[in-house]
């Protein structure tokens, strides 16, 4: 998540404060009322796809696969995506001012492609409002647009035509700025078609698409009136070939008169520090404005930016170098940051499928190249990055927020979030949170204005309470609420949330309720046997060593003082305001992290006192502690298996 004001290099590793005022959670309902379901039966959407395919001459399998690649057949209650797309066909309707704002030297999709909802209205005669809000109308509009693209390429139209002959039209539907991006979308669609799909949509519609393997005519993409796009073999980018990433460098340069420089640091990772994490951000702005910011040496930096409409990707900083993106220098040292166009607090918008799919491709590539585990302890949200010292905890970022679908994202990564039903959830078990998304409509407030509830939609977390009662107060987070007040439902207040994929140790069970150790206390959530939201799995846990009444936790794993050579000041390791009490246990998310400090404080610094890694012998473990991760000294805890 980006901050609007510019941040000087000297402050680049420190996040600005976030206000957590607003609606209190004295006991909100566990789930918000979901949007009203349509009056139509559970197969109405499937029938709508069949009818639209026949009416506009599009093979039903192609129409279904395109819609799945755009929205997974969800209508999102008629609300727009982060790129202005509506309904299961993601018909886009950006305003004239928004389209004008996309001009400039960066490649963009054409203004016409950003207005497919208007195009659909012209082709079908259906009112624009109906195309936004009515599922059947939206499906008809998408079918009409697909057929129009097919005709514009001089290709045959008809529901009985071979799906293999629709590659060019599908590529056109991508709204991509070049043929590489368009072909990447089409390849996704035909991959989905080959695998088949079946799911129940957000409105309870059951849709099944049988697998159909075809060999599409990929040469059709050359007929598209688009530039060829960046070829990875001739580019500086570190991306999978199918993404067609562009290199748009962040500046490494001096400015001002006091030795200031920006907006990243040169390094030689992994020699100067392992890459352990990929940090998922959202931009809190449109992609063009974000690209302008990353080219400003007085601002911060990140490795990649990804556009919402088509998942087009720009790389700004090499993986070997350290970007100033996480708000925690230790995490910066060991991570790669990806900014996704979107808005965490705007509950009325949703992240596009193109964004999820292309992000997953990039993360799989980076994880394989840098030996990063595909789990929620290493593919992390910006909201998991801990504060560095007590004073910075309250100001840490909270993106990508409660509306990022971690479960779907990890499905796309090929590393599903799961537990083992064969292991009972009992005291001492490690449990993984898996609440679902579309049907998990939690109460969230302050998305649009203080004191108001956010538009109901799927969320990625469950609330933790101080007692096994739906009306009990939410657990306390003394880092976010130093006055000791209870947690709240405010969209930015993560202090009482257990997100999908996070892990905790069970402290107690009481009927349908489970209590886990969280920020030094017990937090309760409901997980009935008939519809569990947490599953047990084996793993390692840490507990305070015998005789210790409490153990400190840290926001970084810096070396001990003796490890620092002459000329490099000791970096104090300050405990956070939390602690682990006797009898508590927390899951280990990484037992092999580096204890180190990458010294980079001057422009083009010269070893042995700058641009060097200081390695320590004092060992740390990374643990699941609250919503964010934390570190504990191995000397303070015992590590043991939990089953």
| Domain at 216, CATH number | 1.10.530
Count structural domains, the chain.
2
In-domain check, residue 228? no
| Predicted pLDDT of residue 102 | 43
Residues of the chain with pLDDT under 70: 1-40, 94-114, 231-235, 347-348, 419-422
Q: Which of 168, 193, 223 is the last residue of a domain?
A: 223
| Predicted pLDDT of residue 556 | 98
> Do 105 and 248 sit in the same domain of this protein?
no
Tally of residues, the chain: 643
| Predicted pLDDT of residue 97 | 40
> Do 391 and 328 sit in the same domain of this protein?
yes
């009490």: which residue's tokens?
A: 581
In-domain check, residue 480? yes
> Do 48 and 194 sit in the same domain of this protein?
yes
Q: Which of 223, 253, 274 is the last residue of a domain?
A: 223
In-domain check, residue 37? no
> Do 391 and 478 sit in the same domain of this protein?
yes
> Do 452 and 576 sit in the same domain of this protein?
yes
CATH code, domain carrying 441: 3.40.80.10
Rounded to whole angstroms, the Cα distance separating 121 from 130 reads 9
Can you read off the two tokens belonging to residue 573?
Answer: 């390791």
Other beta carbons less than 10 A from residue 416's beta carbon: 13
In-domain check, residue 419? yes
CB 332 within 8 A of CB 324: yes
In-domain check, residue 232? no
> Do 216 and 262 sit in the same domain of this protein?
no
Rounded to whole angstroms, the Cα distance separating 165 from 156 reads 8
> Do 453 and 482 sit in the same domain of this protein?
yes
> Do 257 and 157 sit in the same domain of this protein?
no
In-domain check, residue 208? yes
Q: Could you tell me which of 25, 128, 1 has the C-alpha nearest to residue 477?
A: 25
Q: Which of 190, 223, 256 is the last residue of a domain?
A: 223
> Do 212 and 319 sit in the same domain of this protein?
no
Angle formed at CA 350 by CA 73 and CA 46, multiple of 5 degrees:
10
Domain of 157? 44-223
> Do 492 and 631 sit in the same domain of this protein?
yes
pTM: 0.92
pLDDT digits (tens, 9 = 90+) for 292-337: 999 999 999 999 999 998 999 999 999 999 999 999 999 999 999 9
In-domain check, residue 4? no
In-domain check, residue 373? yes
> Do 21 and 84 sit in the same domain of this protein?
no
| Predicted pLDDT of residue 286 | 86
> Do 197 and 262 sit in the same domain of this protein?
no
> What is each CA distance from 474 to 81, 386, 398, 430, 487, in whole angstroms?
31, 21, 18, 22, 5
| Predicted pLDDT of residue 10 | 31
């Amino acid at each position: 998540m980006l901050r609007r004001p510019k941040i000087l290099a000297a402050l680049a590793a420190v996040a600005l404060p976030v206000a957590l005022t607003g609606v209190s959670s004295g006991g909100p309902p566990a789930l918000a009322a979901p949007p009203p379901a349509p009056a139509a039966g559970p197969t109405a959407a499937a029938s709508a796809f069949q009818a639209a395919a026949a009416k506009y001459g599009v093979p039903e399998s192609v129409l279904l696969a395109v819609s799945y690649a755009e929205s997974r057949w969800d209508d999102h209650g008629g609300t727009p995506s982060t790129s202005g797309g509506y309904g299961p066909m993601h018909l886009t309707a950006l305003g004239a001012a928004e389209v004008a704002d996309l001009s400039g030297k960066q490649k963009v999709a054409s203004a016409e492609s950003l207005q497919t909802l208007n195009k659909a209205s012209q082709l079908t005669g259906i009112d624009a409002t109906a195309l936004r809000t009515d599922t059947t109308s939206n499906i008809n509009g998408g079918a009409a647009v697909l057929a129009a693209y097919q005709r514009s390429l001089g290709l045959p139209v008809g529901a009985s035509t071979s799906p293999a002959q629709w590659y060019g039209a599908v590529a056109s539907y991508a709204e991509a700025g070049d043929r590489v991006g368009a072909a990447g979308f089409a390849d996704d669609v035909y991959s989905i078609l080959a695998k088949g799909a079946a799911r129940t949509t957000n409105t309870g519609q059951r849709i099944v698409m049988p697998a159909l393997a075809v060999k599409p005519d990929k040469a059709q993409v050359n007929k598209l009136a688009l530039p060829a796009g960046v070829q990875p073999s001739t580019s500086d980018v570190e991306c999978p070939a199918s993404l067609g990433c562009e290199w748009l460098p962040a500046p490494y340069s001096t400015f001002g008169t006091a030795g200031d420089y920006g907006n990243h640091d040169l390094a030689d990772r992994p020699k100067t520090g392992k890459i352990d994490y990929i940090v998922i951000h959202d931009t809190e702005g449109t992609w063009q404005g974000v690209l302008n910011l990353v080219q400003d040496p007085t601002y911060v930096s990140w490795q990649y930016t990804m556009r919402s409409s088509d998942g087009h990707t720009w790389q700004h900083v090499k993986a070997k170098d350290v970007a100033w993106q996480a708000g925690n220098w230790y995490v910066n040292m060991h991570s790669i940051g990806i900014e996704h166009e979107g808005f965490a607090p705007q509950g009325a918008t949703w992240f596009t499928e193109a964004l999820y799919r292309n992000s997953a491709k990039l993360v799989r590539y980076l994880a394989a190249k840098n030996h990063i585990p595909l789990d929620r302890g290493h593919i992390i949200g910006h909201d998991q990055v801990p504060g560095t010292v007590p004073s910075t905890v309250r100001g840490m970022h909270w993106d990508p927020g409660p509306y990022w679908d971690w479960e779907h994202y990890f499905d796309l990564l090929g590393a599903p979030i799961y537990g083992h039903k064969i292991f009972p959830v009992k005291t001492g078990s490690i449990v993984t949170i898996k609440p679902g998304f579309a049907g998990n409509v939690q109460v969230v407030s302050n998305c649009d204005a203080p004191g108001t509830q956010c538009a109901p939609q799927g969320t990625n977390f469950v609330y933790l309470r101080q007692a096994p009662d739906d009306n009990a107060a939410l657990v306390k987070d003394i880092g976010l609420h130093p006055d000791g007040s209870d947690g709240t439902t405010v969209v930015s207040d993560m202090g009482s949330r257990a997100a999908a994929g996070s892990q905790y140790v069970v402290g107690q069970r009481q009927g349908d309720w489970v209590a886990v150790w969280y920020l030094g206390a017990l937090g309760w959530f409901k997980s009935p046997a008939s519809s569990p939201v947490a599953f047990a799995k084996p793993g390692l846990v840490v507990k305070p060593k015998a005789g210790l009444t409490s153990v400190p936790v840290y926001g970084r794993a810096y070396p001990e003082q003796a490890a620092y050579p002459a000329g490099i000041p000791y970096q104090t390791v300050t405990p956070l305001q939390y602690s682990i009490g006797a009898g508590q246990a927390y899951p280990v998310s990484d037992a092999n992290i580096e204890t180190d400090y990458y010294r980079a404080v001057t422009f083009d610094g010269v070893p042995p006192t700058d641009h060097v890694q200081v390695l320590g012998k004092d060992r740390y473990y990374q643990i699941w502690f609250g919503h964010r991760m934390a570190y504990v000294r191995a000397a303070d805890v015992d590590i043991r298996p939990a089953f």
